[in-house]
């Protein structure tokens, strides 16, 4: 068996096109343009690349992009004051504070200062609680992208056995909640799970988000299972730097029914879902019907 490759890059392009179409309709019918504000504190190189990409894609789908670049020495008071201004700006429907923040800033405090209705990352404690209790929330982008790809591949996920490897607040926990919401039987496993191979081997769906390069080998995968690899790890191999996921792609692809590659799998979906979340936040703020198929 050779696994079907789930092309996240193509899926993300299709999703962005859907968002662009809905944004154009909003403008034409209601004179409303969704706006996304991204706040970058400091000069972390990876964060700078990410923020540039977010800004470019935001403009490409017809939204307004507001970038706020602050010095690494910015005080907590000044950052919170900016967030307060954005919370009260009717032109801003989504707010994202790029992580990680400099060490002198309290990330939890900063994230929870964002208006939950504008929290397009889905990290605010209110959104975490709403998601956990099955209520309408802003859904974290990476798990949302994984769910969209799973739904697209399988149709219904009802009754499927899913194992999420990783228990982070950003991916592992919300991913489990989303799978539960689609009526999967869900196990959250992690690096300290006993008999991890056996736990993974029974799953129809494996979501690997543990942050360890190529940790999951092919002999852990149930034949025909769907493997969603969230990991993005830089390793040195044969004198070159290479991007790999949390699963050993070659051996897993020989056993799985479908698999996401790294790069080109989950990664492109994250920004596409950020745009979808901004559109959703805008429609909710204006008491308009939510766009179909763009959230959980």
CB atoms within 10 A of CB 138: 28
Query: Which residue pairs from 105-108 have beta carbons closer than 8 angstroms and sit at least 24 positions apart in sequence?
Result: 105/41, 105/74, 105/76, 105/79, 106/76
Residue 117 has what DSSP assignment? G
Contact 215, 247 (CB under 8 A): yes
Question: Token pair of 6, please?
Answer: 């789930």
What pLDDT, on a 0 to 100 scale, did the predictor assign at position 50?
A: 85
Q: Is 135 a catalytic residue?
A: no
Instruction: Choose, from 18, 22, 54, 246, the residue flagged as catalytic.
Output: 54
Which of 98, 115, 119, 229 is flagged as catalytic?
98
Residue 14 designated active-site: no
Domains and CATH numbers, the chain: 31-133 (3.40.50.10860), 141-267 (3.40.50.720)
Catalytic residue among 115, 119, 121, 246: 121
> Which of 138, 232, 231, 224 is closest to 178 using CA atoms?
138
Angle between helices 8-30 and 141-154 (to 10 degrees): 110
Low-confidence ranges of the chain (pLDDT < 70): 1
CA dihedral 112, 169, 10, 185 (to 10 degrees): -130
CA distance 17 to 15: 5
Give the pLDDT of residue 163.
98
SS3 of 43-96: the string is: CCHHHHHHHHHHHHHHHHCCCEEEEEEECCCCCHHHHHHHHHHHHCCCCCCEEE
Angle between helices 141-154 and 172-181 (to 10 degrees): 40
Give the DSSP per-residue string, 139-150: PPHHHHHHHHHH
Q: Tell me: is residue 168 an annotated ligand-binding position.
A: yes
Distance CA 151, CA 143 (A): 12
Rounded Cα–Cα distance for residues 22 and 117 (Å):
19
DSSP 3-state assignment of 163?
Answer: strand
Q: What is the pLDDT of residue 45?
A: 86
Residue 22 annotated as catalytic: no
pTM of the model: 0.95
> Per the annotation, does 129 bind a ligand?
no
Residue 1 has what pLDDT?
A: 67
170 is in an annotated binding site: no
């Amino acid at each position: 068996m050779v696994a079907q490759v789930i092309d996240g890059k193509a899926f993300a392009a299709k999703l962005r096109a859907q968002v662009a179409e809905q944004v154009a309709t909003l403008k034409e019918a209601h004179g409303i343009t969704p706006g996304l504000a991204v706040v970058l504190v400091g000069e972390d190189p990876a964060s700078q690349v990410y923020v540039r990409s977010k800004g470019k894609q935001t403009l490409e789908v017809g939204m307004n992009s507001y970038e706020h670049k602050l010095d690494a020495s910015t005080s907590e008071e000044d950052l919170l004051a900016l967030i307060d201004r954005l919370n009260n700006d009717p032109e801003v429907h989504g707010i994202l504070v790029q992580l990680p923040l400099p060490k002198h800033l309290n990330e939890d405090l900063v994230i929870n200062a964002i208006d939950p209705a504008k929290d397009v990352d889905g990290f605010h404690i209110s959104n975490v609680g709403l998601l956990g209790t099955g209520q309408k929330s802003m859904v974290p982008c990476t798990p949302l992208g994984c769910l969209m790809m799973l739904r697209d591949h399988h149709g219904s996920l009802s009754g499927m056995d899913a194992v999420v490897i990783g228990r982070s607040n950003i991916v592992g926990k919300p991913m489990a909640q989303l799978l539960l919401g689609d009526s999967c039987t869900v196990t959250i496993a992690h690096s300290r799970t006993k008999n991890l191979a056996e736990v993974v081997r029974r799953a129809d769906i494996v979501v690997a988000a543990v942050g360890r390069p190529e940790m999951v080998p092919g002999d852990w995968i149930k034949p025909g299972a769907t493997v969603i690899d969230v990991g993005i790890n830089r390793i040195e191999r044969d004198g070159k730097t290479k991007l790999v996921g949390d699963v050993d792609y070659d051996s897993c692809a020989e056993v799985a029914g479908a698999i996401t590659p790294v790069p080109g799998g989950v990664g492109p979906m994250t920004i596409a879902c950020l745009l979808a979340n901004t559109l959703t936040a805008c429609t909710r703020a204006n008491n308009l019907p939510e766009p179909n198929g763009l959230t959980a």
